[in-house]
């Protein structure tokens, strides 16, 4: 049998539970004292009830006689067998909340539900005695953040009483909170007037000057006056309602024993996200039910009619394909968020901001949706385009601010901001520099505010991280950077399996996956939709012919001689890198649009490394020339990269002792082979090309071997390349010593 004691083993810390129970009991009793409303009990008609007396039993009206502890120790469940308990619970009766003689609490005409909910949310702030004690530190200023104006005003009307009841509850723990002063940031209308803002600032300043400990109820830290910001030692956001809080409120309002059928109630309650979307009138409607189980069932019925931001079709991390590194990062973050929500990890230990970058169509937006779906929390999304669509600069900033405040109000949630590369660098001078600076500065402030808010996971997306203002993506605003690249063969097959479901096992996915290498996940998903559409119009089951036809639309099968040339070209890159001792690429593949050699230049590049890298860049063209007798336009990008490296080696990085002048990259776009700068760079590239042709000639058989493997596999990672190359002797020692220096 489960334990139904008043302090249970739950996600909420024991100290918080005990405090919540004490505060709620005090508020519930005090509310009846003030209203002079009798608290009534009555025997009920239950299977375990032998008493048929229907007379109501009123509590005495005098405050001294109002009970402050559960009135009954023995529960109806004490006299029932397990199967009988289940039967009673199925009828909507809570035998643990009911006394042994059948006495149960009737619904109250003036149940102080709003006050109880706010009190439970406030008590949830205190995870430890030390956190409670910190509020009373001499001259401490604590910001209690409630972004929504209407909610903040309603809460503040009840806050002095809630704070006093909390202080009395903490007295027994030796924590003294009496005498803490409170101040409220005015609503939008009052705050927009200079008089309203001045009155608020004056009040906070006066309380600080008097040496008081102060709790300021406001939207964000920006609402504090300068003195408040200086002394503010803690910022906490008022937690949102949870099932744990609902149970503690039910313990006061619907139990005469102080006990509950906790497991059964939890099974009937909606999830926390659904609860948090429920308006107060509907909470009151649910709590008008007579028993704990009927309240829980009513809450579930009401929330089932609401759009909580998480529909049945929302994806989860398990339902989408992610590259291994991105999958690791997101699962790690999800685990931390789960631990934080369970009270086992402080928010300061959660890496809660992630920059997602990569080419278009790699699933950055889908990942944000999936993370929110897996975490069971809302997604608040915006983008540069959405904000810009609002109008001029003032409208842009207002729209951005509204989305940020909504995220803070909805915590825990995911805040997703797309098109970060549109927030261009402030260092670039142009006619809109003032506009760009204002927009970027506003975003920086908002990102800092979001990162300071417990429960807000910030995900940013960009196709071009190098175009984003560096201050936006630095640690503290985006602590982790996660790349989303186009899927490899295994990734493409996984996307097919996700999109096709049970049909995937009946189709030849390997062949079509090879032809889609180099394409984005969005393009692969579009192929599946195209294939489904063809099958639908043909009024038949999806088959291989539909899938192949869909692939033909985006990746027509190339000529064999062209594919062979691509293989030779990419193998040339890989073999020369191996011969020169450079790191092998992460991936080499043949795609429908050519080849791909995915690798990075070493971070600390000496002159030798740069020269070797230029040689590797030119190796594809050299391999075509030596092994096929001609070159193709496939080397265009290679020549661009080689030109940039050669230019920077001489005129940006100072790797040649004869020149320490660093020229702007603008000069690179103006190079003319007949002009002095262009002539020197062209000469350097020609020298590297002659050198690499010799390496290719000496290793022609090895290049053919790797090309054949690439033709067979279509895609080889660094490990596979290493295996293919390690079986052949290199002749690096045959290179002249001068070749290594360019």
Determine contact, residues 627/570, Cβ cutoff 8 Å: no
Q: Which of 222-226, 409-413, 666-670, 703-707 has the lowest mean pLDDT?
A: 666-670
pLDDT for 83: 92
For residue range 234-291, list pLDDT tens digits in order.
Answer: 888 888 899 999 999 999 989 988 899 999 999 999 988 788 888 889 999 999 898 9
- pLDDT higher than threshold 70 for residue 186: yes
Torsion (CA) 137, 138, 141, 143 in degrees, nearest 10: 20
First to last CA, the chain: 79
Determine contact, residues 512/714, Cβ cutoff 8 Å: no
**Fold classified for 489-554:** Helicase, Ruva Protein; domain 3 (1.10.8)
Determine contact, residues 362/488, Cβ cutoff 8 Å: no
99 - beta bridge partners? 75
- pLDDT higher than threshold 50 for residue 55: no
DSSP line for 469-532: -TTTSSTTT--EEEE-PPP-HHHHHHHHHHHHGGGGGGS-HHHHHHHTTT--HHHHHHHHHHHH
Pick the CATH number of 317-483 from 3.40.630.30, 3.40.50.300, 1.20.1250.20, 3.30.70.20: 3.40.50.300
Closest by Cα among 372, 338, 339, 363 to 458: 372
Q: What is the mean pLDDT of the chain?
A: 82
pLDDT for 2: 37
For residue range 85-118, list pLDDT tens digits in order.
Answer: 999 999 999 999 998 888 776 545 578 899 999 9
Please tell me whether residue 67 adopts helix, strand or coil conformation: coil
> Which helix or strand (DSSP H or E) is residue 57 part of?
strand 57-58
pLDDT for 127: 84
Q: SS3 string of 107-171?
A: CCCCCCHHHHHHHHHHHCCCCCHHHHHHHCCCCCEEEEECCCHHHHHHHHHHHHHHHHHHHHHHH
pLDDT band at 491 (very low <50, low <70, confident <90, very high): confident
pLDDT band at 401 (very low <50, low <70, confident <90, very high): confident
> Which helix or strand (DSSP H or E) is residue 209 part of?
helix 194-209
Higher per-residue confidence, 695 vs 33: 695
What value, to the nearest 5°, has the Cα angle with vertex 440 and ends 436 and 443?
A: 145
For residue range 589-612, list pLDDT tens digits in order.
Answer: 888 778 888 877 666 678 899 999
Give the Å distances, CA to CA, from 320 to 98, 105, 492: 48, 49, 11
Determine contact, residues 421/468, Cβ cutoff 8 Å: yes
Please report, for the chain, the start and end positions of each structural domain, with discontinuous segments joined by +: 14-114+242-303, 129-237, 317-483, 489-554, 560-741
Q: Which two tokens stand for residue 304?
A: 């089932």
Please tell me whether residue 233 adopts helix, strand or coil conformation: strand
Q: Which of 21-25, 307-311, 342-346, 507-511 has the lowest mean pLDDT?
A: 307-311
Q: Which of 4-18, 46-60, 680-694 has the lowest mean pLDDT?
A: 46-60
For residue range 720-738, list pLDDT tens digits in order.
Answer: 888 888 765 444 434 444 4
Higher per-residue confidence, 479 vs 134: 479
Closest by Cα among 270, 272, 269, 248 to 260: 248
> Which helix or strand (DSSP H or E) is residue 716 part of?
strand 715-717
With 0-12 / 13-18 / 19 or more C-beta atoms within 10 angstroms meaning exposed / middle / buried, residue 123 is: buried
Beta-carbon contacts of residue 219 (< 8 Å; ≥ 6 apart): 145, 146, 147, 149, 152, 185, 405, 408
Tell me the mean pLDDT in the region 18-29. 90
- Chain centre distance of CA 326: 12
Tell me the mean pLDDT in the region 2-11. 44
What value, to the nearest 5°, has the Cα angle with vertex 724 and ends 721 and 728?
A: 130
Closest by Cα among 408, 403, 414, 405 to 373: 414
- Chain centre distance of CA 500: 27
For residue range 60-81, list pLDDT tens digits in order.
Answer: 333 333 344 555 678 888 989 9
Determine contact, residues 659/669, Cβ cutoff 8 Å: no
For residue range 521-532, list pLDDT tens digits in order.
Answer: 888 888 889 888
Round the CA-based radius of gyration of the chain to a whole number and report it.
34
- With residues binned 3-state (H G I as helix, E B as strand, rest as coil), the percentages for the chain, rounded to 5, are 55, 10, 35
Residues of the chain with pLDDT > 70, as a percent, come to: 86
Tell me the mean pLDDT in the region 536-557. 86
In whole angstroms, give the CA distance from residue 721 to residue 582.
13
108-121 burial, b at 16+ Cβ within 10 Å, e below that, comes to beebbbebbbbbbb
pLDDT for 521: 85
Q: Which of 205-219, 545-559, 617-631 has the lowest mean pLDDT?
A: 545-559
In whole angstroms, give the CA distance from residue 73 to residue 192.
55
Selected catalytic residue, list 485, 499, 570, 715: 570
Give the Å distances, CA to CA, from 503 to 91, 197, 496: 44, 64, 10
Torsional sign, CA 8, 12, 18, 21: negative
Give the Å distances, CA to CA, from 53 to 57, 200, 563: 10, 58, 92
Q: Which two tokens stand for residue 41?
A: 């009990």
pLDDT for 105: 65
In whole angstroms, give the CA distance from residue 245 to residue 120.
6
How many C-beta atoms lie closer than 10 Å to residue 332's C-beta?
12
pLDDT for 636: 82
- pLDDT higher than threshold 50 for residue 54: no
Q: Is 644 annotated as catalytic?
A: no
Residues of the chain with pLDDT > 90, as a percent, come to: 31
- pLDDT higher than threshold 60 for residue 7: no
Beta-carbon contacts of residue 597 (< 8 Å; ≥ 6 apart): 570, 573, 574, 585, 588, 620
For residue range 621-649, list pLDDT tens digits in order.
Answer: 999 999 999 998 877 888 988 988 988 88
Closest by Cα among 490, 544, 484, 546 to 516: 490
How many C-beta atoms lie closer than 10 Å to residue 494's C-beta?
20
Evaluate whether the domain defined by 560-741 bears CATH number 1.20.58.760: yes
Higher per-residue confidence, 493 vs 42: 493
Q: Which of 231-240, 329-338, 481-490 has the lowest mean pLDDT?
A: 231-240
Torsional sign, CA 325, 328, 334, 337: negative
Closest by Cα among 509, 538, 539 to 524: 509
Beta-carbon contacts of residue 636 (< 8 Å; ≥ 6 apart): none
Closest by Cα among 312, 281, 314 to 298: 281
**Rounded to the nearest 10 degrees, what angle do helices 243-253 and 292-303 cross at?**
140
β-strand pairing of 456-462 with 353-357: parallel
For residue range 289-327, list pLDDT tens digits in order.
Answer: 989 999 999 999 998 877 544 444 568 888 888 888 899
143 - beta bridge partners? 216, 235
């Amino acid at each position: 049998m489960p334990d139904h004691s008043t302090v249970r083993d739950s996600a909420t810390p024991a100290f918080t539970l005990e405090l919540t129970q004490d505060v709620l009991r005090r508020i519930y009793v005090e509310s009846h004292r003030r209203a002079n409303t009798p608290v009534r009990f009555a025997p009920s008609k239950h299977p375990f009830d032998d008493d048929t007396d229907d007379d109501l039993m009123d509590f005495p009206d005098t405050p001294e006689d109002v009970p402050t502890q559960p009135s009954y120790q023995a529960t109806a469940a004490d006299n029932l067998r397990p199967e009988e308990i289940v039967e009673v619970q199925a009828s909507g009766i809570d035998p643990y909340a009911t006394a042994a003689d059948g006495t149960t609490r009737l619904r109250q005409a003036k149940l102080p539900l709003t006050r109880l909910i706010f009190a439970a949310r406030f008590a949830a702030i205190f995870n430890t005695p030390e956190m409670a004690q910190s509020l009373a530190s001499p001259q401490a200023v604590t910001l209690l953040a409630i972004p929504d104006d209407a909610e903040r005003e309603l809460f503040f009307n009840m806050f002095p009483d809630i704070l006093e009841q909390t202080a009395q509850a903490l007295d027994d723990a030796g924590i003294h909170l009496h005498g803490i002063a409170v101040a409220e940031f005015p609503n939008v209308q009052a705050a927009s007037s200079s008089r309203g803002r001045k009155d608020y600032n004056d009040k906070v300043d006066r309380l600080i000057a008097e040496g008081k400990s102060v709790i300021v109820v406001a939207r964000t830290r920006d609402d504090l006056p300068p003195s408040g910001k200086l002394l503010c030692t803690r910022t906490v956001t008022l937690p949102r309602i949870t099932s744990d809080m609902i149970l503690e409120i039910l313990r006061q309002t619907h139990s005469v024993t102080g006990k509950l059928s906790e497991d059964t109630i939890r099974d009937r309650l909606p999830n926390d996200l659904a609860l948090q979307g429920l308006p107060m009138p509907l909470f009151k409607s649910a709590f008008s039910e007579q028993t704990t189980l009927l309240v829980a069932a009513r809450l579930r019925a009401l929330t089932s009619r609401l759009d909580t931001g998480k529909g049945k079709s929302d994806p989860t991390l398990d339902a989408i394909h992610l590259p291994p590194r991105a999958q690791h990062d997101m699962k790690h973050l999800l685990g931390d968020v789960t631990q934080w929500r369970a009270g086992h990890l402080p928010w300061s230990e959660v890496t809660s901001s992630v920059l997602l970058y990569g080419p278009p169509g790699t699933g950055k937006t889908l990942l944000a949706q999936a993370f929110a779906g897996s975490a069971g929390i809302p997604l608040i999304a915006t983008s540069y385009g959405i904000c810009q669509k609002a109008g001029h600069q003032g409208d842009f900033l207002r729209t951005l601010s509204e989305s940020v405040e909504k995220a803070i109000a909805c915590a825990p949630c995911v805040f997703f901001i797309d098109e970060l590369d549109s927030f261009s660098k402030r260092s670039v001078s142009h006619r809109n520099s003032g506009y760009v600076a204002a927009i970027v500065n506003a975003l920086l402030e908002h990102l800092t505010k979001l990162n300071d808010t417990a429960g807000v996971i910030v995900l940013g997306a960009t196709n071009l991280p190098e175009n984003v203002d560096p201050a936006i993506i630095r640690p503290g605003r985006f602590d982790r950077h996660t790349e989303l690249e186009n899927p490899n063969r295994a990734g493409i097959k996984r996307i097919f399996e996700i999109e096709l479901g049970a049909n995937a096992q009946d189709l030849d996915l390997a062949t079509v996956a090879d032809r889609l290498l180099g394409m984005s996940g969005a393009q692969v998903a579009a192929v599946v939709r195209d294939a489904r559409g063809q099958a639908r119009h043909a009024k038949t089951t999806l088959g291989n012919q539909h899938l192949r036809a869909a692939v033909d639309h985006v990746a027509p099968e190339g000529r064999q001689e062209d594919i062979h040339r691509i293989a030779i070209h990419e193998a040339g890159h890989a073999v020369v890198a191996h011969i020169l001792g450079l790191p092998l690429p992460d991936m080499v593949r043949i795609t429908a649009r050519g080849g791909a050699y995915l690798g990075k230049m070493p971070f600390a590049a000496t002159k030798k490394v740069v020269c070797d890298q230029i040689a590797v860049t030119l190796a594809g063209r050299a391999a075509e020339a030596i092994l096929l007798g001609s070159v193709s336009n496939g080397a265009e990008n290679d020549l661009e990269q080689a030109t940039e490296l050669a230019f920077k080696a001489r005129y940006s990085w100072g790797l040649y002792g004869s020149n320490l002048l660093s020229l702007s990259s603008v000069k690179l776009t103006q190079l003319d082979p007949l002009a002095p700068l262009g002539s020197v760079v062209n000469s350097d590239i020609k020298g590297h090309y002659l050198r690499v042709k010799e390496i290719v000639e000496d290793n022609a058989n090895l290049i053919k071997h790797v090309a054949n493997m690439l033709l067979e596999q279509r895609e080889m990672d660094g490990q596979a390349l290493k295996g293919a190359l390690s079986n052949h002797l290199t002749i690096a020692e045959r290179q002249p010593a001068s070749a290594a220096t360019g």
